[in-house]
Each structure stands twice: as C-alpha cells, then as structure tokens.
A and B are shown apart, each in its own frame.
Chain A
Amino acid sequence: MAAPGTQPEQDPDRTDRRVELGLGALSAAVLLLISFMIVFVFAKAWPSFAANGLAWFGPGGDIGDQLTAIFNSPADPEDYVYELRAWPLLYATALITGISVLLATVLSVLSAIFIVEFAPGWIASLLQPVVRLLAAVPSVIYGLIGVLVLVPFFGNHLITPEQKESVQYVIQLDGSSILAGVLVLTVMITPIMVAITVDALRSVPRNWMEGAAALGVNRFRALRTVGIRAARPAIVAAAILATARALGEAIMLSMVTGSIAFAPNPLDGLVFFFEPAKTFASEIVDCAEGLSVKPFGETMYAFAAILLISSAFLSFCGWYARRSMRKYTLQAR
C-alpha cells in the first residue's frame, strides 16, 4: 500500500532513508525470528515423524506407555526410542475442538441476534462490557472453576456407580472428562465470536432490514435470512478465530479433562462424555518437565508442529473463505 500523502519534493532526506531502513530492518528481523521459529520446530520434530512414518497418526498401544519408553531411552543416540501412535491425541483434539466450536457458534449467533434486535436497551448495553469481560478472563481461572466446581460435581453427582462399573475394566471415571472440557471451552471462546458477530450484524445496511419488514417478514426471520446471510463471512472468520483459540488451549484443558491420553469410545453411549482425554496442547503442558531428554523433547516438538500446521491451515481457510464470500457483498474485516 503506498503511503498516503505526497512524497516530499526534496531529494530523500538522509534521516528519512535511515529511519526507513531501520524500521524495515526491524520488521525483517522479527519476520526472520518468526520463520526461524517455524523452521526450528519442524526440524526438531522431524526425527519423531521420520521414525514412525504415517503410523504416527494411527492407533495402537497406550500413549502413556509409549511416552514412558521414549523418556527412558538409553543415552546412546543410536538407541533412541521414538515409537508413538498419536491417534488418541489427534482424536481428542479434533473432538473437543470441534464440539466446542459448534456449540460456541450456535450460542454466539443466538446471543448476537439477542443483543442486536431483541434485548431491551439496558440489557444490551450491559452485555457489551460483560462479553468483553468474559473474553478477558485468564484461562487458568476458567480452569480453576472447572476443576474445583465442575469436575467434582460430575464425579460425585452426575456419574452413577453403574456407569463407572460399565467401563471399569478399561478406564476409570472421576469427573475429569471431555464434557467438562467442552463446556468450559465453549464458554471461553463464545465471547470472542459474539463481539465479531454483533459488529457484523450491526453493519448490515438498515434498508435491507427495512425492505424485509416491508415484505411482511417478522424481525427474527428477517435477521435469520437477511442478517445472518450478510454476516456470514464475519461469522466464518469468527469461527476460525475461535477454533485457533480452542486448539491452543492447554492450561485449562489440562486441568479439567484428566491425565490419561485415552480415546473416548462413542459406543459407550452417554458414558462417552464422561471419559477423560488429552489434547496435543495439554499433553505438552503435562510433559513439559521431561523436555530435556532428547527423544522426548523431539516428540513434544512433533506435537507443537501439528499445532502449528493446524493454525496455519486455519489461517489459510479463513483467508479463502473470506475471499469466496466476498461476492455476497458485506466484507468481513
């Protein structure tokens, strides 16, 4: 983008040149650092992927045992153990992130409709700072409430002894579960989406809504058809932002979803939601102390690489989605 305003007519002042070069060098340096980070993480992660091939993503064996074996690798680099089948982590990450984003999208669109159209004036102006507050609460506080309130509630009041017995030979249920994780994560990412969606709904041109009213459409349906449709790029952008946030959430999930990397089994029925699980991010947090052991560290970097690829992929999806929706007029910011 060319700088606004006209170029000064004098020949390039030396200070100007110097400032431009200085700031440019600064920006380039930061860019270099960021690229270096990406390259480095992948370079460190490579041995783990190379040793396992595509089976890295598959099922097989207990992740806890595999990580222990990696941690206890003999000191000789020739004998490093890398074997890992990360399917439970992949599955849990996709499951928890997916369900949370779905719930959050529904919740945030409904809330946005409420704020924009149906809320009485005082509630609407109250909700503005409320949403901002919810977005600003640190994840460790969400985790604290989750682990001190939700988890014991599930463990002592919601999970019946019969449910525990039904899976007792496979896994132990103690309240730390994907349900707790999903609930808290949804509450965490909804405020981000609400703010963006409200902005988008508010910038739908007034006469579109009035046109719908003139056609005899009631307020809700007008919003549902005209408003949401027009705000779709923004909702997609918000959903992608929320997904990135959900993927990277490590601390809260490590507090409420339990300490076993278990792949919850949908065939268990309702008990499925009470089973513990671990995502890539929370596994890194739980294993942070063992990073100094080389093959173990490289396995952790492999997890980080997966997270990096996912966020890059999400950014690309967002960019592509926004581009393709541009023809529906309203431009998402």
Chain B
Amino acid sequence: MSAHAQSRAPAALIERLRTAHRESWSLGDLVGVAAAWAAGLALCAIAAAIVIYMMVQGLQYLSISEMFSHPLPGLDQSQSGGFLDPILGTVVLTILSTLLAAPIGIGIAVWLTEYGKPSGLARAVESGVEVVAGTPSIVLAIFGLLVFQEGFLSFLSYEATDGVAFGRSFFAAAAMMSLIALPLIVGATREAMNGIPRHVREASYALGKDRASTIRRVLLPASRRGIGTGVALGMGRIVGDTAIVFILLGASLRLESQGDIPGLQVLQGTGSTLTTYVYNNSPAGEGGSPDKAYAAAFVLLAIVIVLNFGIDLITRGKGPSWTRA
C-alpha cells in the first residue's frame, strides 16, 4: 500500500473545490451517475421484491400445523401433510456437517498459521482448500456418491443385498457438505489468528507456556469471534445447498432410518431437507403443489435471514482490544 503522509487540507476548501467545477460534468458523466443510481436502486428493488414476494406467497400458504406435521406419502402432494421432516432434515444435516467441518477447519487453520512446516505442504494445503472452495457442489455431490457406494463404507448408509452400499444417507451428505463449509471456516480462523499481534504470543511464551497450550488457552479463545463468523458463514452455505442433498440424501420424503442403533439410525438413513423439498414441489420436481413449495421456501428464507443476522451480531461486537501496549 503506497499511501504516503496525509496533508490534510481543510474540509471546507475541499468541498469548495469539488463543487466549484460542477460545469465540468459532461454528458457521459451524467449518464454514468444516472446509471449508478439506477443500479443501486435496482439492487434494492430486487431484494425487496424477492423478500416481499416470498413473504406474501409464503405466509399465504404457511400454516403452523404444516410446519409440525409429517409429510404423508401421497401422490397428490397438495393433500399430503406438512414438512416437519424436511425441517428436521435441514437441522440434522446442518448440525452434523458443522460438527465435522469445524474441528477439521480450525485444526487446518491453526496448523497453517502457527506451524506451517514444511512450507511446501502448507502451500499445497492452501491450494487444496482453495480448489475445494471453487468446486461446484454438484461435482462434490457425485464424487460423494462414488465414494459412499463402495462396499466397505456401507456401514455409513444402507447395505442392500450382496454388500452393495446404497450410498445415500445423512452421513454421506454431511461428509460432502462439510467440504463446502471448510474453506470458509479455514479462511475466517486464519484471518482471526493472524490478527492477533505478536506480543500476545510472546507474552505467553515468556510465561513458560509451550506453543500447544498457547494456542489452546490464548489464541483460540481470542479468535472466538472470527471462528464464530466462519462457522456461521459455513452454516449459511450448508443450509442453502441443494445439489448435495439432492444426490446424497436419498430423496425420501420422511426421515427413514436404517440399521439398529437408535440415534445413529437416523444418520444412516435417508431423508430430505427444506431445499430438496422446495425443489421437488416446484415445477422442476413433481410440481403438484407450488403452495407447499412457497411455504417451505419461506421457512428456508427465514432461517437464512436469522443466520445472517446472527453473523452480523457476532461481527459487530467490540473485539478484544490489542492496542494497549
């Protein structure tokens, strides 16, 4: 950054300089300003239109009973119950994926910032994470199908005859979903940890702590805000993803559990989330009931807005002040 020493002219003078040459506005510039205004207002208008439209349509078709009743396997979806299972599916999948992504992401970020030797490996890991960040989720999804349909992984889903794995379950979907959240968590954690000044670490070493406990007791707690932001961002992406759920969750309307261990049954089984429920009820899926699609989409949008609001709250608070020497 090549900002050199600022010589501050008095604000009034600057303002006068600015306004003094208003005649220098050419037609092209005026068109440009008009275009800028149009673009900015268009963005507002589109956002308002989307939210208002979803609210109107969603509230029109949403009923509390729908949110808490199970979908009934019917042919005509408009008569068949609510979408409790997709809501549960979204919740379960998001929690499971975040539980997978967060420790791994934080671990990778810590290693990259605090250790990072050999540096070739560190560069490679960074590039790898960036590759995953840029990979479309549909590619991750069919790769996941490839992996989880291998026979030796059938304990993670349903084992059909002859040891052929069904390959679609909450475990499979969560494993691939965690890859989606991983780059966000790694990035946010690294940024947070890099923002901690040297003297904090030095003070900890001076007190006799080794690097591992410095990380555990000083650096990670101090990075809590950044990590929280990263995790919330990751959760936002997970909640909104459809492709991975579509391919890896088995598309059964209700949560169908597999296997015999209670609790684990659900995770080995199939289900649907709000995203695939909306997709399946839209004219892209069965199409029979756009009203259900609107209602579910409204709930989904509400969840995303609340998550976003949460991210705002986390980042807005005053961080630890490092400026005191």
A residues contacting B by CB (< 8 A) are 1-8, 10, 13, 15-16, 18-20, 23-24, 26-28, 30-31, 34-35, 37-38, 40-41, 44, 107, 110-111, 113-115, 117-119, 123, 126-127, 129-134, 136-141, 143-145, 147-149, 151, 187, 190-191, 194, 205-207, 210, 213-214, 216-221, 224, 244, 247-251, 254-255, 281, 284-285, 288, 291, 300-301, 304, 307-308, 311-312, 314-315, 329-331
- Can you name 18 extra interface pairs (CB under 8 A) apart from A3-B114, A221-B26? A4-B201, A5-B205, A8-B205, A16-B212, A26-B108, A27-B121, A40-B146, A110-B38, A111-B39, A133-B51, A137-B301, A143-B282, A144-B282, A190-B43, A205-B2, A254-B284, A284-B139, A307-B135
Q: Across the interface, do A126 and B44 meet the contact criterion of CB distance under 8 Å?
A: yes
Interchain CA distance A24-B240 in the complex, whole Å: 31
Which residues of A are found within 8 Å of B290, using beta-carbon distances? Answer: 148
Top 6 closest A-B pairs, CB basis?
A: A248-B136, A138-B240, A114-B40, A5-B201, A110-B39, A23-B111
**A-binding segment of B59-67, B72-80, B124-132, B261-269:** B124-132
- Is B323 part of the contact surface with A, judged by Cβ < 8 Å? no
Q: Check if A147 sits within 8 Å of B312, measured CB to CB.
A: no
- Contact between A28 and B312, CB atoms less than 8 A apart: no
B138 engages A304 (CB within 8 Å) = yes
Structural contact, B131 and A315, CB atoms closer than 8 A: yes
A248 with B7: CB separation less than 8 A: no
Task: Tell me whether A113 and B36 are in contact (CB under 8 A).
Answer: yes
Which chain A positions have C-beta within 8 A of B24?
A: 216-218
How many A-B residue pairs have C-beta atoms within 8 angstroms? Tell me. 288
The answer to whether A26 and B115 have CB atoms under 8 Å apart is no
Contact with A along B72-93 (1 / 0, CB 8 A): 0000000000000000000000
Min CB–CB distance B185 → chain A (angstroms): 12
Binding site secondary structure of chain B = helix
Give the distance in Å from the alpha carbon of A149 to the alpha carbon of B54 in the complex.
Answer: 11
A276 to B51, CA, bound (A): 28
9 contacts between A and B (CB under 8 A): A3-B201, A10-B210, A34-B128, A118-B33, A131-B43, A144-B278, A147-B284, A281-B138, A285-B243
A130 contacts B112, CB within 8 Å?
no
* B47 contact from A6, A10, A130, A244, Cβ within 8 A: A130
Smallest distance from the beta carbon of A6 to chain B beta carbons, Å? 6
Q: Mark B82-108, 1 if CB is under 8 A from A, else 0.
A: 000000000000000000000010011
Q: Given contacts A214-B17, A255-B284, are A132 and B116 in contact (CB under 8 A)? A: no
**In contact, B33 and A148 (Cβ under 8 angstroms):** no
Residues of B within 8 A of A330 (CB): 1
Knowing A34-B131, A127-B44, A194-B43, say if A136 contacts B142 (CB, 8 Å). Answer: no
On chain A, the residues within 8 Å of B17 by CB distance are 213-214, 216
Which residues of A have CB within 8 Å of B46?
134, 187
A301 touches B29 (CB 8 A): no
Cβ A129 vs Cβ B312 within 8 A: yes
Q: Establish whether residues B212 and A6, one from each chain, have CB atoms under 8 Å apart when the complex forms.
A: no
Q: A141-B300, A214-B17 in contact; A13/B210 too (CB < 8 A)?
A: yes
Measured CB to CB, the closest approach of chain B to A213, in angstroms, equals: 5
Q: Are B134 and A27 in contact (CB under 8 A)?
A: no
- For B282, the closest partner residue in chain A by CB is A144
- The residue from A41, A132, A312 contacting B308, defined by CB atoms under 8 A apart: A132
> Which B residues are in CB contact (< 8 Å) with A118?
33, 36-37, 40
- Which single residue of chain B is at the shortest CB-CB distance from A1? B116
Nearest CB in chain A to that of B205: its residue: A8
| Distance to closest chain A CB from B112 (angstroms) | 7
Query: Is there a chain A Cβ closer than 8 Å to B325's Cβ?
Result: no
Q: Whole-angstrom distance from the CB of A316 to the nearest CB of chain B?
A: 10
Q: Are A250's CB and B136's CB within 8 A?
A: yes
* CB <8 Å contact, B53 and A133: no
* B286 part of interface (Cβ distance < 8 Å): no
Q: Which of A44, A127, A138, A214 is the one whose CB lies under 8 Å from B43?
A: A127
When the two chains form the complex, which single residue of A138, A216, A285, A329 contacts B300, counting CB atoms closer than 8 Å? A138
Known: A5-B205, A311-B134. A24 touches B9 (CB 8 A): no
Is B32 on the interface with A (CB-CB < 8 A)? yes
Pairwise interchain contact B212-A44, C-beta atoms closer than 8 A: no
A5 close to B300 (CB less than 8 A): no
Instruction: Mark B241-256 against chain A: 1 for CB-CB distance below 8 A, else 0.
Output: 1110011000000000
* Distance of A321 from chain B, by nearest CB (Å): 15
Cross-interface CB contact of B36 among A26, A110, A218, A254, cutoff 8 Å: A110
The CB with the most chain A CB atoms within 10 A, among B7, B139, B212, is that of B139
- Select which of A23, A144, A147 is within 8 A of B115 by beta carbon: A23
Q: Which residue of A is nearest B204, CB measured?
A: A5
Chain B 16-43, CB within 8 Å of chain A: the 1/0 string?
0110111011100100110111111011
Also in contact, A141 and B124, with CB within 8 A (given A5-B205, A6-B205, A134-B43): no
Contact between chains at A137 and B124 (CB < 8 Å): no
Within the complex, the shortest CB–CB distance from A11 to chain B, in Å, comes to 11
B69 at the interface (CB under 8 A from A): no
Q: Is the CB of B308 within 8 A of A133?
A: yes
B54 touches A114 (CB 8 A): no
- Check B12 for interface membership: any CB of A closer than 8 A: no
Would you call A301 and B134 a contact (CB within 8 A)? no
Bound Cα distance A175, B66 (Å): 32
List of B residues within 8 angstroms of A329 by Cβ: 1-2
Contact of A138 among B114, B215, B304 (CB under 8 A): B304
Of all chain B residues, the one with the shortest Cβ separation from A301 is B142
In the assembled complex, B143 has its CB within 8 A of some CB on chain A:
yes
CB distance from A331 to the nearest CB of B (A): 7
Contacting pair A138 B242 (CB below 8 A): yes
A314 touches B134 (CB 8 A): yes
